[in-house]
Chains A and B, each alone.
Chain A
Amino acid sequence: MALKLVVIGNGMVGHKLLEELAALRLQELEITVLCEESRPAYDRVHLSAFFAGKSAEELSLVAPGFFEQPGLHLRLATRAARIDRALKRVTTADGEVIPYDKLVLATGSKPFVPPIPGHDRPGCLVYRTLDDLGALTQWGARSRRGVVVGGGLLGLECAKALRDMGLETHVVEFAPRLMAVQVDDIGGQMLRRAIEDLGLTVHTGKNTQAIVDGESARHRMAFADGSHLETDLIVFSAGIRPRDELAHQSELGVGQRGGIMVDNFCRTRDPDVYAIGECAQWGGKIFGLVAPGYDMARVVANHLHALLTRTQAPSLPEFAGADMSTKLKLMGVDVASIGDAHGATPGSRSYQFSDERRQVYKKLVVSGDGKRLLGGVLVGDAAEYGTLLQMMLNGLELPEAPEFLILPSSDGQAKTGLSVDALPASAQICSCNNVSKGQLCEAVAAGATSIGALKAATRAGTTCGGCVPLATQIMKAEMKRQGLAVNNHLCEHFAYSRQELYHLVRVERVRRFDELLQRHGNGLGCDICKPTVASILASCWNEFVLQKEHASLQDSNDYFLANIQKDGSYSVVPRMPGGEVTPEGLIAVGQVAKKYGLYTKITGGQRVDMFGARLEQLPLIWEELIAAGFESGHAYGKSLRTVKSCVGSTWCRYGVQDSVGTAIDLEHRYKGLRSPHKLKFAVSGCARECAEAQGKDVGVIATEKGWNLYVCGNGGMKPRHAELLAGDLDTATLVRYIDRFLMFYIRTADRLQRTSVWRDNLEGGMDYLRSVIIDDRLGLAAELEAQMKRVVDTYECEWKRAVTDPQTRRRFRHFVNSEAGDDNVVFVPERGQVRPATAEEKRSRHGRIPVKVLAE
């Protein structure tokens, strides 16, 4: 008989337990999962990413097909209402009775809402689930001002989300400083300034006594000191309380301050009932972080495994408490707290450094003998978080003068920081997924030599992302140690990566492929390196791609400035910036299509694609299109395709900015820009996002104040939402950021690497990208802008050039020794247009449309 396991709660920790059990491949197990929410587990840690464009699907933690495994039953929207421990069964809110042999409570916690009179008025919300975010979005749309009650980690995250929604946002904190648990007074002051720089208003030391009807807004919050604040919506983020109501009901033993009491194996006082995650209390503490919860899930999975397989396990893993160091994940605000941040350990000493101009504050707490790191606070610059954390966790001996760990170095040299070599193999690098340094090194040895591959192989860095810089450092050190030079050579002709070649071309001012091949390569080149170098040359110097010395480098598409189709015919796409086209333009396109018998179709990028053009027709077609005022649409190139737009404020009753105008300007600016892969843009006139800008490499969405800039989105095979790079930009800043973004991508990406994949492989991810683009951390901004300016200033329509250049024009014929066309290109009619004939149809030659080659 299979053992019946019931798991209550399919949150982050409950789901981790299921994953661990699935990995152990237990046969004799029937698992029923009761999930109160309407969707299965999702990444609560990254809940706020929902506002930066992540969809509920993208936040899901459930691998495709996971719940289809035999022996696994998921009940969505089902709340457990009662536990009967004597009869060993659970009753759901709908009255269904489910028997169990073993029971796991993974019910998490709920936001604490202080019992202030008026706390339950409409428009008083919390921030915990995707449904909460849905409600917040709805109320937010009807509000001008929002207040977050609580200035802790979650409260600040929530406040930032309100701010990004365009609300005037206030944070009301009872304590005298923000993040009172994690930082000290000075740190709190610095943090406050950084938060205020984000455009938030902070009120500390405020005790809310009542919420009543407001005069200028929906609510009025009355404070104990007699002051008040009016607001349209309120979010409570004043701490969390474990969801232990079932434990109360079934008398399982609940701690004084809440939490289901468990032992080292996460068992409650009933040996058949476990509790894990935020609902559990161990050693008098509850753990409001995901990593300890994941630890507990592993402990229980191993415990069940031992039970089921009846293996004697002398050393089953036990839960042994957890480190509560944390880092705030707010864009532009670095705050981290490590271990004993307040110096509460008897005899401890501390070092502090503060720089009011740069708004940086750092503190180290060390043991009385100065040998060990006990804790620390980092505000304004948390770059050392990973290394300091490891020093503390592994009890590494501190250098003689530990202050240098936090002091800025005068010579710009690397600090006497932590060498990853000093870390033992057992050091836990990713606490969320329990990945040790040893495991990372093994994965590197097994071939994971990029951070993307390393993440996929070990799952390190895939939850909170805090360990990615350290994991990268370890990866590099390990590769060096194993003598593994990363081979990212472009092809057999160049022992360089695309990025290195780009650099060589720029620095040595190389203008021709031959020159580059002679100096840095060997052989003749191939279909990999030729187009890559052609693209680099075009990005840098923007010379005519069909110029004699560049012509032989181009892919067939670029060589004939059209898209080759499966039968060897071509398609033609004139540019229609922003998807705007005049009736005359449309008529001209229609006439050309009709005259040359082309199949026409509207593309996803808001323009017209004409198929079935023969090579020799291309210049004739283009002459007519150019005469009608059209330019090349670069549909054939690895370059800017389209800037899609919605009609925006000009016509749409919801629009807040002129999305079409901006789309057209952007399309004109970047048209012709050659890049490692194709680039797609879109501009929406308001948050309703009708242009689907968040699925593009560059997405621009209008706000009341300007534009939100999203980057690195992608449709296609692996769709991915773009992420917010910066918000509320004026148009000039928007353009500057896009200039920098594109040029930085062109400079550093691999061959055929879309922006989304490029971003996944960027060490430091979005934060790093922001620091480069917005804060100009590499000091590159001016250079990138100048390089873009050059490309913009030297734009010319390739087709105009091609049709007027007799040399180039001569190449557009099928036979070098005959005026005949390719008799292999045959069309048949379908739905009033043409399509390529199938092989069968060609053989029978029935229904063939004789193609006239039109010569002028």
Chain B
Amino acid sequence: MGGHDMNSEWMAVCKLGDIVPDTGVCALVDGEQVAVFRVGEGELYAIANVDPHSQAAVLSRGLVGNLGERVVVASPIYKQHFDLRSGECLESPEHAVRTWQVRLQDEHVWVRRDSR
């Protein structure tokens, strides 16, 4: 795995089937840990994997769900919720995490490399 798109702006990290629906995986993108989530059949989100509260690289292992309108993941360490679209931490907004653009193409999951 780890194939590159022609313009190398996007990086294919895995096949869609590698992510169990409603869970996440962690991808290594240019030395950074990115948590990639699959919600339902084909909705994809990507945020930083490091939980700012514990400094542990674990957000990809959290439980996925929704709170009101927001699609969120709960950190497995202290259970704060992070908005998968914006990276915002619902309990303490100062602890927002970075997000990445992510898309599905040819049954592969692609993360945009320079989306800083």
**Is A624 close to B, CB under 8 A?**
no
Q: CB distance B68 to A824 under 8 Å?
A: no
Near B by CB (< 8 A), chain A positions 511-552 give 523-527, 529-531, 548, 551-552
Provide the residues of chain A in CB contact with B68, threshold 8 Å.
492
How close is B12's CB to chain A, nearest CB, in angstroms?
Answer: 8
A564 touches B61 (CB 8 A): yes
Are A526 and B61 touching (Cβ within 8 A)? no
- Is A816 a contact partner of B36 (Cβ separation < 8 A)? yes
Chain A proximity of B113: nearest CB distance (Å): 13
Interface string of B54-86 (1 = CB under 8 A from A): 111110011111111001101011010100000
Q: How far is the CA of A529 from the CA of B39 in the complex (A)?
A: 16
Q: Does A811 contact B (CB under 8 A)?
A: yes
The answer to whether B23 touches A556, judged by C-beta atoms less than 8 angstroms apart, is no
Residues of A within 8 A of B44 (CB): none
Q: How far is the CB of A163 from chain B (nearest CB, A)?
A: 49
- Pairs across A and B, CB under 8 Å, 18 listed: A493-B66, A523-B65, A524-B64, A524-B71, A526-B65, A526-B67, A527-B62, A527-B65, A527-B81, A564-B76, A566-B56, A566-B77, A568-B57, A568-B58, A815-B27, A824-B55, A824-B56, A839-B55
Least distance between A809 CB and chain B CB atoms (Å): 13
CB–CB A530/B65 < 8 A: yes
Q: Complex: how many Å from CA A531 to CA B63?
A: 9
Contacts of A817 in B (CB 8 A): 1-2, 13-14, 27-28
Q: How far is the CA of A719 from the CA of B36 in the complex (A)?
A: 42
Within 8 Å CB of B66, what residues of A?
Answer: 493, 523-526
Give Cα distance in the complex from A814 to B64, angstroms: 18
Known: A548-B20, A564-B61, A811-B20. A820 touches B56 (CB 8 A): no
Residues of B within 8 A of A811 (CB): 20
Interface majority SS on A: helix, strand, loop or mixed? Answer: loop
Q: Please give the distance in Å from B102's CB to the nearest CB on chain A.
A: 13
Residues of A within 8 A of B64 (CB): 524, 552
CB nearest to B50 among chain A residues: A824
Interface residues of A (CB under 8 A from B): 492-493, 523-527, 529-531, 548, 551-557, 559-560, 564, 566-568, 810-811, 814-818, 820, 822, 824-825, 839
**In the complex, B18 has a CB within 8 A of chain A:** yes
Inter-chain contact B28/A815, CB cutoff 8 Å: yes
Q: How many A-B residue pairs have CB under 8 A?
A: 103
CB-nearest residue of chain B to A556: B76
The residues of A that contact B19 with a CB separation of less than 8 Å are 816
Expressed in whole angstroms, the Cα–Cα distance for A432 and B4 within the complex equals: 77
Q: Taking A524-B39, A548-B20, A824-B50 as contacts, is the C-beta distance between A559 and B72 under 8 angstroms?
A: no
- Whether A524 lies near B22 (C-beta < 8 A) is yes
Interface string of B1-39 (1 = CB under 8 A from A): 110000000000110001111110111100001001001
Query: Which residues of chain A are near B81, meaning CB under 8 Å?
Result: 527
Indicate if the CB atoms of B39 and A526 lie closer than 8 Å.
no
Contact of A526 among B23, B25, B26, B72 (CB under 8 A): B72
A227→B68 CA distance, assembly (Å): 80
Chain A residues closer than 8 Å to B74, beta-carbon distance: 526-527
Please tell me if the beta carbons of B67 and A492 are within 8 angstroms of each other in the complex.
Answer: yes
User: Quick one: which of B1, B57, B58 has the most chain A CB within 10 A?
Assistant: B58
Q: Are B20 and A567 in contact (CB under 8 A)?
A: no
* CA of A825 to CA of B54, assembled, Å: 12
Our pick among B18, B26, B65 for the contact of A525 (Cβ within 8 Å) is B65
A552 is contacted by which of B23, B27, B67 (Cβ under 8 Å)?
Answer: B23
On chain B, the residues within 8 Å of A567 by CB distance are 54-56
Looking at the complex, which one of B36, B39, B76 makes contact with A555 (CB distance below 8 Å)? B76
Q: Which residues of A contact B20 (CB under 8 A)?
A: 548, 551-552, 811
Complex Cα distance A555/B66, Å? Answer: 15
- A816's partner among B22, B27, B58 (CB-CB below 8 A) is B27
Would you give the shortest CB distance from B41 to chain A, in whole angstroms? 12
CB-CB under 8 A from A814, the residues of chain B are: 26, 57
What would 6 more interface pairs be, CB under 8 Å, given A564-B77, A566-B56, A814-B26? A526-B74, A527-B62, A552-B22, A556-B58, A564-B58, A816-B19
Complex: A706 Cα to B28 Cα, angstroms: 60
- List residues of chain B with CB within 8 A of the CB of A530: 63, 65
A567 to B61, CA, bound (A): 13
Q: How far is the CA of A204 from the CA of B74 in the complex (A)?
A: 68
B36 surroundings in chain A (CB, below 8 A): 816
Q: Which 3 A-B pairs have the closest CB atoms?
A: A556-B76, A526-B65, A568-B56
- Tell me the smallest distance from the CB of B114 to a CB of chain A, in Å: 18
Closest partner residue, chain A, to B12 (CB atom): A817
Q: A residues within 8 A CB of B27? A: 815-817
B-side contacts of A560, CB under 8 Å:
61
- B62 contact set on A, CB distance < 8 A: 527, 556
User: How far is B74's CA from A554's CA once the two chains are assembled, in angstroms?
Assistant: 12
